[in-house]
Structure 1
Amino acid sequence: MREMYVLLYDGECGFCNFWVNWVMKNDRKGIFNFASLQGNFGQKFLTDKKLPLNRFNTLYLIHPDGKVDEKSNAVIKICSLLGSWYKLAAVFKVLPKFLRDKIYDLVAKNRSKLASGNCPLPTKEQRRMFLD
């Protein structure tokens, strides 16, 4: 059985949905599952971590061993797991985390402006990767 990672995201954000669709499209190894922070899985995660239940501006990546990456670390890890040219995102690790996360927060703050407004629904096969 392969190790699975869970990507937690804002299910009501067009930019976040674009990002999830991009990861699904590039996940050739089939190692990602997805859950919105507003859903049961996401709300349980936030409760267990004692995080606010109504703030959805952070992307989380749960590793198979339970480790959790967030914000820029999550993005870099996702890219490295996807492999190919996406692994080059690891070059951003040379920047201090506080700076990377400032950039992440700036994008998160403006994500509604960045959303294309076009959010395709997942296929039946893709829906199996989503946790409730």
Structure 2
Amino acid sequence: MAERNDVIVFDGVCVLCSRWVDFVLRHDRAGRFRLAAMQGTHGRMLLQAHGLSAGDPVSFRLVLEGRAHTDTDAIAHVLRGFGGLWRVAASLLEAIPRACRDPAYRWIARHRYRLFGRRASCRLPAPAQAWRFLD
């Protein structure tokens, strides 16, 4: 497990977001990233501490080294954190102008429940992965 843990704040009832969490758990072999649902105490506190709205979950949030990142920049930071070829994927994402990639991301985020579905309650971690979740 990595000594420093950065935190991904995700929408715990969003099916797409839960798939992203599964992806992170599968590829973050070093255990660098911790996870906090924005509906939980830690997630809500992190969002508020960085001036982000906990009541407006239209963006992916990453608190990295004490600084909040959102949207596709946050995704690129996570991919880069996986290391290896994921760094290339992050570079390819960042090669697309932010003025194009962030609006596309936000459109998907705004319509994610309609496109991918919504859970009745927050995602629960498997016992072996519970240490990765803050709430």
Unaligned runs of 5+ in 2: none
Alignment of 1:16-27 (within 5 A): 16-27=17-28
Classify 1:120/1:130 alpha carbon distance in 2 versus 1 (closer, same or farther; 3 Å): closer
Alignment of 1:54-73 (within 5 A): 54-63=55-64, 65-73=65-73
Task: Give the corresponding residue for 2:131.
Answer: 128
Task: Decide whether the 8 Å contact of 2:12 with 2:123 is kept in 1.
Answer: no
Alpha-carbon distance between aligned partners in 2 of 1:84 and 1:51, rounded to the nearest angstrom: 31
The size of the alignment, in residue pairs, is: 131
Classify 1:53/1:81 alpha carbon distance in 2 versus 1 (closer, same or farther; 3 Å): closer
Normalising by structure 2, we get a TM-score of: 0.84
Please report how far the alpha carbon of residue 115 of structure 1 lies from its aligned counterpart in structure 2 after TM superposition.
2.8
Structure 1 residues 87-96 or 122-131, which shifts more? 87-96
Classify 1:49/1:19 alpha carbon distance in 2 versus 1 (closer, same or farther; 3 Å): same
Please report how far the alpha carbon of residue 53 of structure 1 lies from its aligned counterpart in structure 2 after TM superposition.
2.9
Alpha-carbon distance between aligned partners in 2 of 1:51 and 1:32, rounded to the nearest angstrom: 19
Normalising by structure 1, we get a TM-score of: 0.86
Structure 1 residues 27-36 or 82-91, which shifts more? 82-91
Task: Give the corresponding residue for 1:49.
Answer: 50
Please report how far the alpha carbon of residue 117 of structure 1 lies from its aligned counterpart in structure 2 after TM superposition.
7.5
Task: Give the corresponding residue for 2:88.
Answer: 88
Percent identity of paired positions between Structure 1 and Structure 2? 28
Please report how far the alpha carbon of residue 110 of structure 1 lies from its aligned counterpart in structure 2 after TM superposition.
2.9
